[in-house]
Chain A
């Protein structure tokens, strides 16, 4: 059964298993300088492969943009 993930406020469905690494690939963000928070906690880049996402997880994926 699909799992539902809320990514940057929008819900998406995925076929498990989904790791953070899979997600980064699917978003086309491989090799980009991003940071990810899962349910309020930072997911370090070194743990993308081993972090398996679960139904209902809330993720924030951010980049640096112009600002003052």
Chain B
């Protein structure tokens, strides 16, 4: 595999991770995820509606764990305790699967992470053998603490979850990227393809998104756009962009041989 994304020792060819929420139906979920090329897909863990819809297909029948790496999340958890309980249930649900997405929210309006609770949960989960990919603020010190605890990837926000506001602080992401020894994924806030490309051009290892695809007018087409953008951004990062020269224009065409001039 050329240029794989390696998380917890396992290689993935796609650097786009996608959520499975907010789609019209399971058919659209599946089609969009196929178009995105994503191998890792996030799911939420919720109470069963007892006695209802027992014969309807479930999400994991549409997205079988044999085909996709399922990344259970702790969306909606506001305490370390709830997040840990949720992921213990997820591990049982997924036959001992330990790769998880930890997020502990601090505020219902902004969905900003509660970092003290996130750190507490990460410590417990790592001690219990989970491989923790962690949603976090774009604070380089927090990212380092999470890495030191043993998280297998840090996932700072680009902007608020579901806001589509793009990358508000590229410099912080770059500082986190430059210092981290684990993969850095931009999680939350991507709005359109150029945002995903910029994240990759900053040197981030991958991008995780849900609403940018599910909330597009044509989600399946946007899923394809995101696949291309992430791949293009990664290629640009690997290629190494030209230096910025704000005050120095430089023609690409030769200055010699222009017609109507003396040789």
Q: Which residues on A are within 8 Å of B, measured CB to CB?
A: 7-10, 27-29, 32-37, 40, 42, 44-45, 60-68
CB B64 to nearest CB in A, in angstroms, measures: 10
A28 neighbours in B (Cβ, 8 Å): 51, 54
User: How distant is B84 from chain A, measured CB to nearest CB, in Å?
Assistant: 11
- B51-A27 in contact (CB<8A): yes
Interface size class of B (residues with CB under 8 A): 35 or more
Which residues on the A side are within 8 Å of B88 (C-beta)? 37, 42
Contact B51–A65 (Cβ < 8 Å): no
Is B131 part of the binding interface, using a Cβ–Cβ cutoff of 8 Å? no
Chain A residues whose CB sits within 8 angstroms of the CB of B22 once the complex forms: 66, 68
Give min CB distance, A37 to chain B, whole Å: 6
The 4 A-B residue pairs whose C-beta atoms are closest, nearest first, are A67-B44, A68-B19, A68-B210, A28-B54
What are 20 inter-chain pairs, A to B, with CB distance below 8 A? A33-B93, A35-B93, A36-B89, A42-B88, A42-B89, A62-B86, A63-B46, A64-B43, A64-B60, A64-B93, A65-B21, A65-B46, A66-B22, A67-B21, A67-B42, A67-B75, A68-B42, A68-B161, A68-B208, A68-B211
In this assembly, does B259 line the interface, its C-beta being within 8 Å of a C-beta of chain A?
Answer: no
Interface residues of B in 14-57 (CB under 8 A from A): 19-23, 29, 42-48, 50-51, 54
Can you add 13 more A-B contacts, CB < 8 Å, to A35-B90, A64-B93?
A: A27-B48, A27-B51, A35-B89, A35-B92, A37-B88, A60-B85, A62-B86, A63-B59, A64-B90, A65-B21, A66-B23, A67-B73, A68-B21
Interface string of B53-95 (1 = CB under 8 A from A): 0100011100000000010110100000000011011111110
Residues of B within 8 A of A33 (CB): 58, 60, 93
Partner of B59, one of A7, A8, A64: A64
Contacts of B90 in A (CB 8 A): 35, 64
A67 touches B93 (CB 8 A): no
Q: Given A8-B50, A28-B54, answer yes or no on A64-B70 (Cβ-Cβ < 8 Å).
A: yes
Which B residues are closer than 8 A to A by beta carbons?
A: 19-23, 29, 42-48, 50-51, 54, 58-60, 70, 72-73, 75, 85-86, 88-94, 161-162, 208-211
Alpha-carbon distance A28/B55, docked complex (angstroms): 9
Q: How far is the CB of B113 from chain A (nearest CB, A)?
A: 14
**Are A61 and B48 interface neighbours, CB within 8 A?**
yes
Name the one of A10, A63, A68 contacting B93, with C-beta atoms under 8 angstroms.
A63
With a cutoff of 8 Å between Cβ atoms, the chain A residues found around residue B162 in the complex are: 68
**A44 contact set on B, CB distance < 8 A:** 92
CA distance A29 to B211 in the complex (A): 30
